[in-house]
């Protein structure tokens, strides 16, 4: 029996997040959000794909709300079977707790194209843009044919030399942390 080489990274990242106090987390989240708005691929896009964060993930609610306030079309994922369905989300008030306790949109307007900038969660990333998520493969399946710019949000202490990617793992184009404007990824 083989063990998953990502398991220790996942465990470490969860412990790191749990150890952040509220003030530290809020400051780091705000700094990462500021970095995201500096990316022209995101800031200049009329529509974006985001995710609604779990409590210890980087808080995306302010990003979602700012995008909506700016008139951007926002799409959030909803779990349907083993896939993520992207749903137009005109308001955060419509979010409901869904699969894995993740806030999900309730709308019916779906997005089927793959050319938007997408912001993806991860417990840890590496400098090549690979991510260690929760191990279910939802984002790897979603990103398999994604042509839009892919962005990972990550605390600097959860950015590793490698996350031991599997053959089916899909790297993001850019990893943003609270400490640097842009972390190097595979395209640079």
Residue 36 marked in a binding site: no
Residue span of the structural domain in which 124 resides: 7-176
Residue 57 marked in a binding site: yes
Residue 132 marked in a binding site: yes
pLDDT of residue 4: 82
Residue 96 marked in a binding site: no
Tell me how far apart the alpha carbons of residues 150 and 154 are, in angstroms, rounded to a whole number: 13
pTM higher than 0.95 for the full model?
Answer: no
Q: Is residue 117 part of a domain?
A: yes
Residue 40 has pLDDT above 80, yes or no: yes
Residue 137 marked in a binding site: yes
Residue 155 marked in a binding site: no
Q: Is residue 187 part of a domain?
A: no
Q: In total, how many domains does the chain have?
A: 1
Residue 105 marked in a binding site: no
- Three-state DSSP at 84 gives strand
Q: Is residue 143 part of a domain?
A: yes
Residue 13 has pLDDT above 80, yes or no: yes
Of 17-26, 82-91, 99-108, 114-123, the one with minimum mean pLDDT is 99-108
Q: Is residue 47 part of a domain?
A: yes
Q: What is the CATH number of the domain that holds 79?
A: 3.40.50.10420
Render pLDDT for 52-76 as a digit per residue (tens, 0 to 9).
Answer: 999 899 999 999 999 999 999 999 9
Residue 10 marked in a binding site: yes
Residue 6 marked in a binding site: yes
Residue 9 marked in a binding site: yes
Cα–Cα nearest to 120, from 109, 134, 108: 134
Range list of β-strands (E), 37-130: 47-49, 73-80, 83-88, 96-97, 103-104, 110-111, 118-120, 124-126
Q: Is residue 188 part of a domain?
A: no
């Amino acid at each position: 029996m083989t063990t998953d080489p990502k398991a220790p990274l996942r465990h470490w990242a969860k412990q790191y997040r749990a150890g952040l106090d509220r003030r530290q987390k809020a400051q780091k989240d705000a700094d990462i959000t500021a970095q995201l708005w500096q990316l022209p691929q995101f800031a200049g896009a009329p529509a974006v794909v985001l995710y609604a964060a779990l409590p210890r993930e980087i808080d995306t609610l302010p990003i979602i709300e700012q995008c909506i306030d700016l008139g951007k079309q926002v799409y959030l994922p909803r779990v349907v079977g083993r896939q993520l369905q992207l749903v137009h989300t005109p308001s955060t008030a419509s979010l409901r707790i869904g699969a894995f306790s993740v806030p999900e949109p309730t709308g019916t307007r779906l997005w089927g194209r793959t050319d938007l900038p997408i912001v993806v969660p991860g417990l840890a990333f590496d400098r090549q843009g690979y991510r260690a998520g929760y191990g279910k493969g939802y984002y790897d399946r979603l990103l398999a044919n994604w042509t839009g710019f892919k962005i990972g949000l990550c605390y600097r202490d959860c950015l590793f030399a490698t996350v031991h990617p599997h053959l089916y793992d899909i790297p993001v184009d850019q990893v943003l942390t609270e400490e640097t404007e842009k972390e190097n990824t595979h395209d640079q």
